[in-house]
Amino acid sequence: MKDAYAVIGHPVGHTKSPLIHGLFAEATQQAMHYTAIEAPREPAGAFAATVREFIAAGGKGLNITAPFKLAAFEMADARSERATLAGAANAFKFEDGRIIAENFDGIGLLRDIEVNLRTPVAGKRVLLLGAGGAARGALLPFLGARPVELVIANRHVEKARALAAQLAAHGRISACAYGELERRGRFDLVINATSASLTGDLPPVPPGVFSPRGTAYELAYGKRLTPFLRLARNAGVAGVADGVGMLVEQAAEAFAWWRGVRPETQAVIDRLTVPLD
């Protein structure tokens, strides 16, 4: 009998998670089955009901993707520090009748940048675009990597300022509106954590924020040269990357949390990588 795991979101037709976890299970010889569940967005409570149906059927754990990361955090019985500070969860584990929430988005992103892309964050100026669930999950791990400064830019600046205030004790972090970025200078690492690229749009970021010797990172994956990455490349940035490595690395963290063994990731990243050009 294989243990049941799944990714839950809306929509989930595009998800690579079943492939990723299937490859991990094969490589580590784990007896597990992984599928995708599309939960309805309406009515209120439909997400929680879908999760409880999965638990009742014997499910052991879930990955949570958009738009349910905040709802997942709210329904959990216990939450990790990362999930608590993010106010969002991207993974569940079910133990002793309890729902335990974690957030591996930031760890996966940081590992992809520092290990796979060989771009240390320590001492760098980092700009994070967006203040939603994906951005929130990245903040604590990134501050732990000791950037000289981390700036959050968001359309609704008060939301970004509230996040910065919440995490002020963990490092040098501030927030601003997009219109203020022109006078903030260049950043060594610019991360697009908005949903703009999912619809082919560009966040209102000026090209002057990019350092030509820096890195531009797009959380969306498999969309080739998005408007954000094209803007960065046109600004002279040589180091551009999408989020496929983050996807695989955060999946590996969840897999290790569930199964007690962390799979190798590079072969899976190579398999999923789509050339940007």
| Token code pair at residue 87 | 């106010």
Contacts of 165 (CB under 8 A, 6+ apart): none
Residue 23 marked in a binding site: no
Q: Where are the alpha helices (DSSP H) in 91-191?
A: 105-111, 133-144, 157-166
Does 15 carry a binding-site annotation? Answer: yes
CA pair distance 231, 128, nearest whole angstrom: 16
C-beta pairs of 230-238 under 8 Å, 24+ apart in sequence? 231/202, 231/205, 231/207, 232/190, 232/207, 234/207, 235/207, 235/208, 235/210, 236/210, 236/212, 237/210, 237/211, 237/212, 238/212, 238/213
Does the annotation place 200 within a ligand binding site?
Answer: no
> 3-class DSSP state for residue 100?
strand
- Reference 164, options 133, 191, 188, 143; nearest CA is 143
How many CB atoms are closer than 10 A to CB 77? 12
Q: Is 16 labelled as part of a ligand binding site? A: yes
194 labelled as ligand-binding?
no
Contact (Cβ atoms closer than 8 angstroms) between residue 98 and residue 78: yes
| 219 belongs to an annotated ligand binding site | yes
In the chain the first and final C-alpha atoms are separated, in Å, by 44
Residue 123 labeled ligand binder: no
270 annotated among ligand-binding-site residues: no
The DSSP code for 51 is H
- Binding residue per annotation — 174? no
36 is in an annotated binding site: no
Q: Are the C-beta atoms of residues 150 and 168 closer than 8 Å to each other?
A: no
H/E segment holding residue 210: strand 210-218
220 is in an annotated binding site: no
226 labelled binding-site residue = no
245 marked among binding-site residues: no
Is 87 annotated in a binding site? The answer is no
Residue with tokens 């490092």: 171
60 is catalytic: no
Catalytic pick among 69, 93, 124, 223? 69
Q: Which residues are annotated as a binding site?
A: 15-17, 65, 81, 90, 105, 130-134, 219, 221, 243, 250
Q: Which residues are annotated as a binding site for shikimate?
A: 15-17, 65, 90, 105, 221, 250
Q: Which residues are annotated as a binding site for NADP(+)?
A: 81, 130-134, 219, 243
**Which residue numbers are catalytic?**
69
